[in-house]
Amino acid sequence: MSPATEDASPESKQRQLEVLRHSGWGVPFRIFQPRNLCFWVLVLGYIGGVTVALQVIRPTAPAYSSALGYGVVLFAIYAVPWWLYLSHLNRYTTVPHKIIFTAFAWGFLAAPFWIAIRANDAILTIYAKAFGNAWASAWGPALTAPFTEETAKMLGLVLLLSLVPQVLRTPFDGFVTGAFIGLGFQISEDILYGFQGATAQFGLNQGALVGQTLVARGLAGLFSHTMFSAIYCAGLMWLLNRDGSDHRLRGLGLMALATIFHLTWDSGGVYFNHVLPGAGPAILNYVLTIVLSVVTIRLLLRTVRQDERGWVRDVLQPEVERGVLTPAEVDVLSGGRKQRRQLLHSVHGHHTRQIVKHVITAAEDLATQIAYACGRDTDAVIHARTEVARVRTGGGRG
């Protein structure tokens, strides 16, 4: 099959351009924008975050340096599968890496240290002053962190929305950006907990104590900040009506839901301090929180992906009409594992399967180039199209 044997219909080309404009896919951008006040607030947040982090860590860092070292290394490794998984979710009309790194850094530095730690400490102390240490220890975390931390993380998305409004258009963009802010926050908090937890044996066995923190926080982290923020930030996109779908109430509901999940997740003290005695209520609380939050995230992911998948299809439809791609290949690019498996099962032989895999990857490149070219036939698009044809013939040059 040679590329561009036929022309695409004007209707599908029109739809492609509409989708590219609406989704912001491939829109050029830069984070460094000295004329945008939000850029300076972002920088201020990073500087403030580093400053407060040093203030928090420095007084005891010399005696607990190994705990800090172990924590940084272990949780950096822990972050890798998370990063890969979130990048995998981000495969449709991709949120660019520059934005993802900016979001992660906000979650890692600015949100916890510049904002949340100071608010949390103050509110917990106010609770202790007003209601006593026992009450503050039981109820304090659940009635503090969900409000301060979800807000602190969300502010990163607010700044990014002003910096790259065309790129961040949809609830899916909010979901992905929020997830990376949450991941940054979670890793940062875990390192800090590991560092603080290592004081438990007066400085002995710091490595083992950080290991314990890794196990406990690592497991808890599966249902923690990354997920809360993804839900919260997708909600913010609907609340602000960024995609023009008028689902503001749904957005508000999701933000409230993320706050509630965070609240019940942090309410362990209420149970384990024997306010509500017995293991039963505690287990029920955690099981319900996990089940409901996982159901929410699955439904949310399905909803926010639906548009994105349709857009991939619309962007590639002209290429199908041109004969560059087959409908089944576009199904794979706009679908998931199931469509990929179906296509691979429909062909026989290792060599042919390999070719199909290459065609799919080359088609992904083509989609990206079409988006970067805003739908025009640039040299890069023509080259990507030629590549699809080349790998389809088995990889020979030409």
Q: Rule CB under 8 A: which of 61-100 touch another protein?
A: 61-63
Give the shortest CB-141-to-another protein separation in angstroms: 14
Tell whether residue 11 is a contact of another protein (CB under 8 A): no
Give the shortest CB-332-to-another protein separation in angstroms: 25
The interface with another protein within residues 37-56 (CB under 8 A) comprises 37-41, 45
Q: How many residues touch another protein (CB under 8 A)?
A: 71
Tell whether residue 17 is a contact of another protein (CB under 8 A): yes
Tell whether residue 181 is a contact of another protein (CB under 8 A): no
Tell whether residue 159 is a contact of another protein (CB under 8 A): yes
The interface with another protein within residues 214-243 (CB under 8 A) comprises none
Structure token digits, residue 226: 């990354």
In the complex with another protein, which residue's Cβ is closer, 113 or 265? Answer: 113
- DSSP assignment of 333-387 equals HHS-HHHHHHHHHTS-SHHHHHHHHHHHHHHHHHHHHHHHTTT---HHHHHHHHH
Q: Which of 15, 21, 358, 390 binds another protein (CB under 8 A)?
A: 21
Contacts 24+ apart (CB under 8 A), 287-295: 288/264, 289/223, 289/261, 289/264, 289/265, 290/223, 292/261, 293/223, 293/227, 293/231, 293/261, 294/223
Q: Which of 72, 142, 158, 292 binds another protein (CB under 8 A)?
A: 158
Residue type, 112: P
| 54 torsion bin: left (phi>0), alpha (psi -120 to 50), beta (else) | alpha
- Is residue 354 exposed (0-12), middle (13-18) or buried (19+ Cβ within 10 Å)? middle
Selected range binding another protein among 197-205, 219-227, 278-286, 310-318, rule: CB under 8 A: 197-205
Residue type, 381: V
Contacts 24+ apart (CB under 8 A), 133-138: 134/273, 137/269, 137/273, 138/269, 138/270, 138/273, 138/275
Tell whether residue 105 is a contact of another protein (CB under 8 A): no
Alpha-carbon distance of 100 to 86, in angstroms, equals 10
The interface with another protein within residues 271-330 (CB under 8 A) comprises 272-275
Q: Which of 129, 298, 302, 341 binds another protein (CB under 8 A)?
A: 129
Q: Which of 59, 278, 396, 398 binds another protein (CB under 8 A)?
A: 59
Give the shortest CB-354-to-another protein separation in angstroms: 35
How far is Cα of residue 355 from the mean position of the Cα atoms in its chain? Answer: 32
Give the shortest CB-59-to-another protein separation in angstroms: 6
Tell whether residue 155 is a contact of another protein (CB under 8 A): yes
